[in-house]
Structure 1
Amino acid sequence: MTSIRRDVLTLPVAGLGPVNPLPPLCPPGGTHRVDERDRAGLPRDMARQIAYEPLRSLLPERLRDGYGRDRTPRGVEAIVLENDRLRATVLPGFGGRLVSLLHKPSDRELLYRNPVLQPADFALNGAWFSGGVEWNIGATGHSTLACAPLHAARVTAPDGTDMLRLWEWERLRDLPFQVDLWLPEGSDFLYVGVRVRNPHERAAPLYWWSNTAVPEKRRILAPAEEAWHFGYERRLRRVPVPAYDGVDRTYPPRSTYPADYFYEVPDGQRRWIAALDGAGQGLVQTSTDLLRGRKLFVWGSGTGGRRWQQWLTEPGTGGYCEIQAGLARTQLEHVRLDAQSEVAWLEAYGPLAADAPAVHGDDWAAARAAVEDRLERALPRREVEAAHGRWLTAADTEPGEVLATGSGWGALEVLRAGHKLPGTPFDRSTLGDAQQPWLRLLESGSFPEPRRAGPPGATLVAPHWRDMLETAPAQPLTEYHLGVAQWHAGDLAQAVRSWERGLALAPSRWPLLRCLAVADQESGHRERAADRYLEAFDDLCQERRDDGESWTAATAALGREAIGALLAARRTADARSVWQRLRPATRARGRFRLIEARLLLAEGDRDAARAVFDAGFEVADLREGAEAIGELWSRITDEPLPERYDFRMRPPDAGSAG
C-alpha cells in the first residue's frame, strides 16, 4: 500500500534571508522575449499567444534577494510518498518541489538530485534552486513560488490509497491551483494530477510548465522531427531534430551555449519526453494531451554554462539538463483561461529501459519508436487517459490531515469574494500578519496606519483592492499603497499624484520618495530621480530604529538603487556618501563589492576598481543572463574575463543582454 509520511532532509542550505521591502515598480527584466525580427514568421496561434498578456509587473509579489552563498547543514521539512516500487520526496516549503524519485527495485535515482539548496536569481521574483521537478505557474519564467511554502494535506486517491495534495493561490494571475501526487499500488509510475481554476468573472492568462532536472549525460528523446530553438540572444527559429549545424543536439553536452529546444509534437501524437543513459535506461514523462508542449533546456559546454552549473550546486556534482512539459508550444506563450472555468490534466513520471543501440543509433525515427514502444508496454496511453478520468472524481475531495501550511493570501481572496473551491480550502486560520491590514480594509473600509515605524508591507494591486483603497480615508500609508496599485494598472500620472498627496502628511517619507524617484527615472527625469533617491536615503537613515532584518534589508535595497541613480546622473560624490552610510556587513556582500568597483571606476580610480576584482567577490543574486560583471571588467581592463566571473550565456557577438 502507498504510504505518506513527514520527514526531514538534512542538507547544506543557504538561507533565503529577508524579502526586499521595496515594491518592484519597474517591468521585470529578463531574456525571455522574442526578437521582433522573428515574429512575422511564426505560426499564427504561437504569435497570438506570445502577444497575449505578457507579464508587465511582478506586483503584488516582492523580490527575494536577501540570500547569500554561505551554506550550513539544516533540516528541511519533507513529505515522502512510497509504494513497493517508488519513493518520492517533496519539499512543501519550497514550492512543493519533487526533489527525489527513487526506483526501489533498481536503486536508481530518476531525477537530478541537487545535494545542496542554494538560491539563485532565476525565478521571476528572484530566489530559485535547481534540481528535481518544479511546478511553474504564473508567467514566462520560473514561478514566484519556487522558494515559497505551499499548503499540503493527505487526500484519498481514486484507488483508495493515500494521495498528497499541494495547493496555493498564484498571485501574479490571481489563480488557485492544485497538484495531486499518488502512487498506485505496484505502479512504477508516479501520477501527478494538476488543476488550475479561474474563479473570476474575467478571462485570465495561464502559464504552466513542469520542469524536470535530469543528469545531462543522457540522450533526450521526444516524438518530434523539428524544434523551436531559443537562445539568450532572444532569437526564436525552427530547427531540425536531432541534428542541425552538423551537431546532434539531443545530447545536451554537445551544445556550446545554454538554449531551449521546444519540440514540435504533431497533433494526435502521444505526449512524452525521455532522458536515457548509455544503457538505454532513465526517466520518461508522459501526460494527457492537454499538456501539449515538450522542451529540452541545455547549459551547454561553454565556460558560462559550466560556471552556472557549478554556481547552483557544489564541486564534484554532475551536470544536469531539464526536460519539460507545458500547456503551449513554447514558454514564451500564455493561453487563455476563460472566466469561471478550469483546466486539468494528468502527468506520469517513471523509469524506462529501451534497447540501447536503437536509442543511441543514427536512425532518429527508430530511436523514437524504440522508446515509444517501451513506454506503451510500461504505461499504455489508454491507462493514462483512464487514470485521468478516475482522478477527476477525486479532485474535489476535501483534504484530511494537514501536512504543511502555505500563505494566507488565498484565504483573504476567498473571504473577499466568497469563492467556492472544493478540494482546496483556503481557511481563515491561515491568515497571517501580512494579510491583517488588508483584512481590516475589507471589513472596515479603512487601511490602518502603522503603530510603529518600519518598512511598509506588501501592496495588493488587483482591481477590487485598488477600488477599496480609492474609497478609503486618504491617510499617508493608504496613499502609498493606492499609488502602487495605480502604477501597476498603468495609471502612472494618478500614481504620482497619490504619492505626492501622501508625502505632504507622511511621518515616514522615504517609501513615497523612493516611488516618486522610480517614476522620475521611468519618465526620463534623471536629475530629479537622483535628488529624490538621495532625499529618500537620508530620510531612511534618520528613521531606522535598529539593525534588525527588515531595516537592514530596506537600507541595502534603497542604497543599491540610490547609488545606481546617482551614478547615472554622474553625481559620484553623492553616490559615495550613500555608500559610506551602508552597514559594513552590507558593503561586504558580493553585490555591493561589484557596486564598489563601479563607484571606484566612476571616481577615476581604475587600479582600485581592479583590486576589488583581484580580491574576489561573489554576487549571490546575479540575474540569469545578466552580463554586468563582464561589462564592468571590460571597462577596467582589456584582459580576458577570469573564469570565476564568466557567467555569459550567449555568443559574444550577439549584442547586449543587460
Structure 2
Amino acid sequence: MVVVTTIRRDVMTLPSAELGPSNPLPPLRPLDEAHRVDDRDREALPRDMARQIGYEPLRDVLPERVRDGYGRHRTSRTTDTIVIENDRLRVTVLPSRGGRVASLFHKPSQRELLYRNPVFQPACFALNGAWFSGGIEWNIGATGHTTLSCAPVHAARVTAPDGGEMLRLWEWERLRDLPFQVDLWLPDGSDFLHVGVRVRNPHEKPAPVYWWSNIAVPERRRVLVPADEAWHFGYERRLRRVPVPEHEGVDRTRPPRADLPADYFYELPDGQRRWIAALDDAGEGLVQTSTDVLRGRKLFVWGSGAGGRRWQEWLTEPGTGGYCEIQAGLARTQLEHVRLDAESEVTWLESYGPLAADDASARTVHGTDWAAARAEVEDRLERALPRADVEAAYAAWLPHADTEPGEVLHAGSGWGALEVLRAGHKPAGTPFDESTLGEAQAPWVELLRTGAFPEPRRVGPPGETLVAPHWRDMLETAPAKPLTEYHLGVAQWHAGDVAQAVRSWERALELAPSLWPLLRCLAVADQQAGNRERAADRYADAFDDLCRERRDDGAVWTAAMAALGRETLAALLGVRRTAEARTVWRRLRPVIRERGRFRLIEAELLLAEGDREGARAVFDAGFEVADLREGAEAIGVLWARLTDEALPARYDFRMRPPVTEWRADPD
C-alpha cells in the first residue's frame, strides 16, 4: 500500500546540555581565525578563487551575539521536531536548531542514512559559538558554521509540486542581511528527499553569499565524488592542490586513514553531474546530488590523531561511532564568498537518498581503480535518480517557491519582521509577520517610528546592536543619548570607522548612568591599537563598575560578569598585573569560578603568581572548558609552560601538526 506523504509535529528526547544565555558583550572581534589562507598560497590560486577568497570576509559576527552560555552537564530534554514521511523515507527536522535534518531513515532497508548524534552537546564551532554535530545543516552567512546553528527558524506547510505537502523553512540571515528559504518534500513512493533552496538579495547593492549543506555520515565509509583533484586545507592554514584518491601514499577517500583534521574541496569538471556519496563496506549508504549551481563538494575528516579523536568524543559521548562530513556548496571552497547582485536571487535543488549495491558493485566501489569506482557510483545514481529527473524536479519546484505558506508549524525570530517593517519588503513565499516582533526588536521599532532610540526602563546590559548601514544612519540622526551613542559606536566599529566609534563611546561616557559597556568597548579599541596598558585600565574600571551596578544573581547579570571578567583577567594577565587580576578573580561569583573556562584562567593566574604546584594541581583535579574554540590551543600553551610532560589525552584538542613552539592564543 502506498503511504501518502505526510508532515506532522513530534518531539525528540535526548540527553541535552542547556544552551544558557547569550554573551551580552557585543562581539567586536571575530571568533574564527582558523579558516584563513596563508598569504604564501594566495598567488598560486586560480584567479577567480583568489578573488572570492578576498571578497568581503567578516570583520566580526555583528549584529549577532556570541552563544557561550552552555555547559557540559546533560539531562534528558525534549525538543520539537517536524517529521516528513512517505512509505520509503522518514525525515526528522529540528526547527528550533536551524532547521537541521536530524535523521533520514530509509524504511525498506531499515537504515539511518546520516550520522545521528545520540546527544545534544553544544560546542564552540559556529561563527557565533554554539554548534552541535550530526545530521544535515544549512550553512548560510560566511565561512564557517552558521550563526543559526542553535537558533529557531520559521516553518510551515506549503503545497508541493506534486500537489501534496512540502515543509518550508525560512529566516532572515543577519550577517549578510539576506532572507532565505529551504523547501523539503518527499514525492509519494520516492526514495529521495528533494530540497529546494533560495537565497534573495532585496537590497540595492550586491551582497556576498555563502552556502554549504553539511551532511554528517558515519566515519567508516568510502567517500566518492567525480573528481581527480582536490584542494587540501588543514589547520596549518595552507591551501594546496592534491590528487584524489591517493595522496602521500594514503587513500584520502577513506576517512579513518587520515592522520589530522582536514578539508578536501574537490575539483569537479565543468559539465560533470554534481554528486557525492558515502558508502559502507557493502557499497551501500547515502548519495547527495544537485543542480549545477551548487558546484562545490567537500570531505571533512577528523583524522586518527589524538586531537581529532578527542573532538569526536567531545561532541558526542565515548563509545559512539565517529563521523565525517560530506558537503555541497556554491563555490569550490568554503573560504570563498560569491556575489549576489542587487535585487536578485540564487536557487537550486538538492536530492538526498540511499544507494544499494550487490557484491560485484561493492567490490568495484572499494577497489583500487578510482575511475571504475566513480563510474559505478554514478551509474547507480543515474538508475536510482536520473540527472534529468533532478532537473525536472527543480523546474517543477520553482513556480512553487513563491507559494504562500499554510499552517505555521514553528516561529523563528522577529528580525525579519523588523526588516520588512523598515523597508516594506514583501518576499513572496516567506512572510515575516509583525506578530513575531518581540522584546529584542522593540527599541528598534521605536527608533524606526519616532526617530529616537529609547533609554532603558531598568538597569541592565544593553541589548543587541543593529549595524547595517540603514540602521547606522538612523542612529546618527537620532538624539545623542548615552545608549544611542553606545549602539552607534558599535555600528561604526562594524563599518570599520574605529575613530568615530571611539568618539561615540567617549561622548556617551559623560552622561551614561552605566559605564561598563562603554569602557569595555573602549578597552577593545585600545587593544586593537596596541595600547595594552590603557586597555587593562579600562577593563579594570569596567569590571569595577559592573560589580557596583549588578542588581541580582540572575542569568543575565551572571552572564555579564562572566564575559567581562574573562576579558578583564586576560587583559590584566597580558600586562603582568597579577595582583589586580587576583582582585578581579576574588570578586567573581563562585558559580563562575567553578566553570572549566575559569579553572583554566585560575591555573594561568597561579602560574603568573609563581605558584607552579598550584597551577599543576588545577590540571590534576581536572576541568572541561565547555566553550573551547575549534582549533584553540590555549590549554596546550599553558601546559607547555608548566611542564615538559606530554599533554594528557583529556586536554589534547590539537588539530594541526606539532610545532616547535606553541603560538600565543587569545582563546
TM-score after normalising by structure 1: 0.99
Shift of residue 55, structure 1, vs aligned partner: 1.1
Partner of 2:598: 592
The answer as to 2:40 corresponding to 1:34 is no
What whole-Å deviation, never above 9, does each CA across 1:332-363 have from its counterpart, x for those lacking one?
Answer: 00000000000000000000023100000000
Q: 1:226 aligns with which of 221, 224, 229?
A: 229
Partner of 2:112: 109
- CA contact 1:408–1:426 (8 Å) conserved in 2: yes
Partner of 1:410: 416
Q: How far apart in 1 are the matches of 2:58 and 2:454?
A: 30
The one-letter code sitting in structure 2 at the alignment partner of 1:493 is: A
Partner of 2:623: 617
Q: How far apart in 1 are the matches of 2:304 and 2:78?
A: 34
- CA contact 1:31–1:657 (8 Å) conserved in 2: no
Q: 2:136 aligns with which of 118, 133, 136?
A: 133
The one-letter code sitting in structure 2 at the alignment partner of 1:615 is: A
The one-letter code sitting in structure 1 at the alignment partner of 2:402 is: D
The answer as to 2:555 corresponding to 1:549 is yes
Partner of 2:255: 252
Report which stretch shifted further, 24-33 or 78-87: 24-33
Shift of residue 439, structure 1, vs aligned partner: 0.2
Shift of residue 653, structure 1, vs aligned partner: 2.5
Q: 1:653 aligns with which of 656, 659, 663?
A: 659
What whole-Å deviation, never above 9, does each CA across 1:31-53 have from its counterpart, x for those lacking one?
Answer: 10101111111111111111111
Aligned positions of 1:243-282 closer than 5 A = 243-282=246-285
- CA contact 2:637–2:663 (8 Å) conserved in 1: no
What whole-Å deviation, never above 9, does each CA across 1:606-646 have from its counterpart, x for those lacking one?
Answer: 11000000000000000000000001000001100000000
Q: How far apart in 2 are the matches of 1:136 and 1:123?
A: 10
Q: How far apart in 1 are the matches of 2:70 and 2:535?
A: 28
**Secondary structure, in 3 states, of the residue corresponding to 1:383?**
helix
- CA contact 1:626–1:657 (8 Å) conserved in 2: no
- CA contact 1:28–1:56 (8 Å) conserved in 2: no
- CA contact 2:637–2:664 (8 Å) conserved in 1: no
Shift of residue 27, structure 1, vs aligned partner: 3.4
**Secondary structure, in 3 states, of the residue corresponding to 2:400?**
coil
What whole-Å deviation, never above 9, does each CA across 1:147-205 have from its counterpart, x for those lacking one?
Answer: 00000000000001110000000000000000000000000000000000000000000
The one-letter code sitting in structure 1 at the alignment partner of 2:96 is: G
Partner of 1:207: 210
Partner of 1:372: 378
What whole-Å deviation, never above 9, does each CA across 1:415-447 have from its counterpart, x for those lacking one?
Answer: 000112000000000001000000000000000
- CA contact 1:33–1:234 (8 Å) conserved in 2: yes
Q: 1:334 aligns with which of 334, 337, 340?
A: 337
Q: How far apart in 2 are the matches of 1:311 and 1:136?
A: 22
Aligned positions of 1:49-448 closer than 5 A = 49-354=52-357, 355-448=361-454
The answer as to 2:513 corresponding to 1:507 is yes
**Secondary structure, in 3 states, of the residue corresponding to 1:343?**
strand
- CA contact 1:598–1:632 (8 Å) conserved in 2: yes
Partner of 1:635: 641
Q: How far apart in 2 are the matches of 1:91 and 1:582?
A: 36
Q: How far apart in 2 are the matches of 1:118 and 1:571?
A: 36
- CA contact 2:296–2:333 (8 Å) conserved in 1: yes
What whole-Å deviation, never above 9, does each CA across 1:301-354 have from its counterpart, x for those lacking one?
Answer: 000000000000012110000000000000000000000000000000000023
What whole-Å deviation, never above 9, does each CA across 1:563-589 have from its counterpart, x for those lacking one?
Answer: 000111110011111111111010000
The answer as to 2:577 corresponding to 1:571 is yes
Partner of 1:477: 483
Shift of residue 28, structure 1, vs aligned partner: 3.6
Q: 1:604 aligns with which of 601, 610, 621?
A: 610
The answer as to 2:19 corresponding to 1:16 is yes
Aligned positions of 1:452-463 closer than 5 A = 452-463=458-469
The one-letter code sitting in structure 2 at the alignment partner of 1:10 is: T
Q: How far apart in 2 are the matches of 1:571 and 1:241?
A: 53
- CA contact 1:136–1:142 (8 Å) conserved in 2: yes
Q: How far apart in 2 are the matches of 1:118 and 1:27?
A: 22
Q: How far apart in 1 are the matches of 2:623 and 2:432?
A: 44
Q: How far apart in 2 are the matches of 1:34 and 1:656?
A: 17
The answer as to 2:474 corresponding to 1:468 is yes
**Secondary structure, in 3 states, of the residue corresponding to 2:151?**
coil
Q: How far apart in 1 are the matches of 2:44 and 2:501?
A: 39
**Secondary structure, in 3 states, of the residue corresponding to 2:130?**
strand
TM-score after normalising by structure 2: 0.98
Q: How far apart in 1 are the matches of 2:512 and 2:57?
A: 35
Which residues of structure 1 form unaligned runs of 5+? none
What whole-Å deviation, never above 9, does each CA across 1:196-222 have from its counterpart, x for those lacking one?
Answer: 000000000000000000000000000
What whole-Å deviation, never above 9, does each CA across 1:517-573 have from its counterpart, x for those lacking one?
Answer: 111111111111111111110000000000011100000000000000011111001
- CA contact 1:103–1:351 (8 Å) conserved in 2: yes
Percent identity of paired positions between Structure 1 and Structure 2? 80
- CA contact 1:412–1:431 (8 Å) conserved in 2: yes
Q: How far apart in 1 are the matches of 2:529 and 2:39?
A: 24
Q: 2:568 aligns with which of 562, 577, 592?
A: 562
Q: How far apart in 1 are the matches of 2:102 and 2:368?
A: 33
Q: 1:549 to 1:195 in 2, by over 3 A?
A: same
The one-letter code sitting in structure 1 at the alignment partner of 2:573 is: L
Q: 1:657 to 1:49 in 2, by over 3 A?
A: farther
The one-letter code sitting in structure 2 at the alignment partner of 1:199 is: P
The one-letter code sitting in structure 2 at the alignment partner of 1:515 is: C
Q: How far apart in 1 are the matches of 2:500 and 2:36?
A: 29
Q: How far apart in 2 are the matches of 1:516 and 1:43?
A: 41
**Secondary structure, in 3 states, of the residue corresponding to 1:650?**
coil
Shift of residue 29, structure 1, vs aligned partner: 3.3
- CA contact 2:405–2:429 (8 Å) conserved in 1: yes
Q: How far apart in 2 are the matches of 1:239 and 1:528?
A: 48
Q: 1:519 aligns with which of 504, 517, 525?
A: 525
The one-letter code sitting in structure 2 at the alignment partner of 1:532 is: R
The answer as to 2:51 corresponding to 1:48 is yes
Shift of residue 474, structure 1, vs aligned partner: 0.7
Shift of residue 657, structure 1, vs aligned partner: 8.1
4+ residue segments displaced more than 6 Å? none
Which residues of structure 2 form unaligned runs of 5+? none
Q: 1:657 to 1:5 in 2, by over 3 A?
A: farther
Q: How far apart in 1 are the matches of 2:570 and 2:90?
A: 49
Partner of 2:494: 488
- The alignment's C-alpha RMSD in Å is 0.8
Q: How far apart in 1 are the matches of 2:52 and 2:521?
A: 32
The answer as to 2:583 corresponding to 1:580 is no
- CA contact 1:200–1:339 (8 Å) conserved in 2: yes
The one-letter code sitting in structure 2 at the alignment partner of 1:44 is: R
**Secondary structure, in 3 states, of the residue corresponding to 1:434?**
coil
